[in-house]
Amino acid sequence: MAKVQAGYDHFFEEFDRLAQDGADPGSREEVAELVNEVLTKEILAPAHEYLDFNEQVMATSTKQSQLMADRMVFGLLLLGLCGPVAGLLAGLAIARGVSRSIIQLSVPVHDAAGKLNEVVGPIVLSGGRGIEDLEAGLRNMSAEIGTVVNRLQQSQREVLRAEQLAAVGQLAAGVAHELRNPLMSMKLLAQTAAEAGDEARLEGRDIKVLCDAIGRVERSVQTFLDFARPPALERRAFDLYRVVEQTIHLVAGRAECQGVRIEYAATEEPLFIEADQGQIRQVLLNLLLNALDAMPKGGTVRIELPGSNGRLHVREVGKPEPVQPGLQRWLSIRVADTGCGLPVDLGERIFEPFITSKDTGVGLGLPICRRIVETHGGQITATNRPEGGAVFTVQLPLPAPDPQEATPSGNQVEEPLAVVPT
């Protein structure tokens, strides 16, 4: 196209030049030559070349389009032939995988059915490998499993009932054992008085035995009542040292008869805590009575309490002394004896009801102690001492200290030991 445009421009330039020369006789010859030379060679020849080139390009494009169309037709034919084959192969592979999965599922299903046969009898499972067969088998197993669950629940109810009956039996045996001995003493006194006739009378010693027997019956009945129906907490501030001293004096007479010495850390300043005074006294009394039962031929009972400033034996959870404000603190009360110690085979079961290592008693003292301490938010533990005997540790939570009262740790001197007169 550039050659045609150049020839066209050249033709008109020469034509304009001839037109300016006027009617010259030689102008016609030059015009003829111009038409022959310029129009034919410089315009028509490039135009023919351009036309030939376009025809060649069109032929090439047509050929390529035809080739592409042939390829597309071949591809469509190939896809039409291979698609069903590929789909068939893929379907076979998927079906084989599903069949394998069904077989893998049927194996544990048959295994579970075999185990259920021992419980509920034979379970019929189809031998087919289809999903419908597996579904039917699972439905049958589901029904049988429901039967097994119902039987297990019934068995659990029966076991619970048996445990309740066993507990009632233990309770009845404990009541009979605790009441039989004092009733026997009262019966002997009554028989002796009946044999004496009109002159029968009870002397001071007989009256003391009778009062002791009645007191033992009352204590046994009260123990069962406390275990069956624990009283509600009545928290109030009281002096722990005073309660400990009162409790020690309650058992001082028995300790003197057994040759047992009771030691505790004496202090002049009170230690006030907020708890149920009566229940804390009951815990201390039960622990002291257990210690005396463990030392029938004498020994030593040591009661360790916090010091007068409330910091001795008071620990923080995960933190050593000094006490820092804002952290939970625990008040530790330790009752240690030099008796025979705790049976190793009992362990923590020592706090379970009706578990006892003594020939007398029904095993309710320590469970009552544990329930009282846990009701206060604390905990009680029992371990054997390396040098012999047992130690019971009661830990009660204390409120966080006032920042104004928190002081740095210093050299803490434990108060001297005082021996209760026995």
* 157-189 tens-digit pLDDT: 888 778 767 766 766 766 676 677 777 777 777
Give residue 398's domain range.
236-419
Domain tally for the chain? 3
68 with 107, same domain: the answer is yes
Query: Tokens 């044999």 belong to which residue?
Result: 195
102 with 224, same domain: the answer is no
Question: pLDDT value at position 153?
Answer: 85
| Type of residue numbered 92 | L
* 342-365 tens-digit pLDDT: 888 777 788 887 777 666 666 778
Tokens in use for 270?
């009170």
**Where is the domain boundary, 123, 143, 167?**
123
**Where is the domain boundary, 123, 152, 185?**
123
Our measurement of the distance from residue 404's CA atom to the centroid of its chain's CA atoms, rounded to an integer in Å, reads 39
Strand partners, 276: 235
110 with 152, same domain: the answer is no
143 with 185, same domain: the answer is yes
Query: Cα torsion for 371, 372, 378, 384, to the nearest 10°?
Result: -70
- What Cα–Cα distance (Å) separates residue 357 from each residue in 8, 139, 163, 336, 343? 132, 54, 21, 17, 7
220 with 255, same domain: the answer is no
Q: What is the CATH number of the domain that holds 134?
A: 1.10.287.130
140 with 113, same domain: the answer is no
Question: pLDDT value at position 163?
Answer: 74
243 with 309, same domain: the answer is yes
pLDDT in tens, the chain (422 residues): 676 677 667 666 766 666 666 555 555 666 666 666 666 766 677 777 778 888 888 888 888 888 888 888 888 888 888 888 888 888 888 877 777 776 666 656 666 666 656 555 555 555 555 667 666 766 776 777 777 778 888 888 888 778 767 766 766 766 676 677 777 777 777 777 777 766 666 677 777 777 877 877 777 777 677 666 667 788 899 998 899 999 999 888 889 999 999 998 767 778 888 999 989 998 999 899 989 988 989 999 999 987 533 343 333 333 334 444 455 678 889 999 998 888 887 777 888 877 776 666 667 788 888 989 999 999 999 999 888 889 999 999 886 655 554 444 444 334 333 333 33
85 with 162, same domain: the answer is no
Tokens in use for 250?
């309650």
**Where is the domain boundary, 203, 229, 255?**
229
181 with 323, same domain: the answer is no
Task: In whole angstroms, give the CA distance from residue 124 to residue 422.
Answer: 80
Q: What is the CATH number of the domain that holds 415?
A: 3.30.565.10
94 with 150, same domain: the answer is no
162 with 213, same domain: the answer is yes
223 with 253, same domain: the answer is no
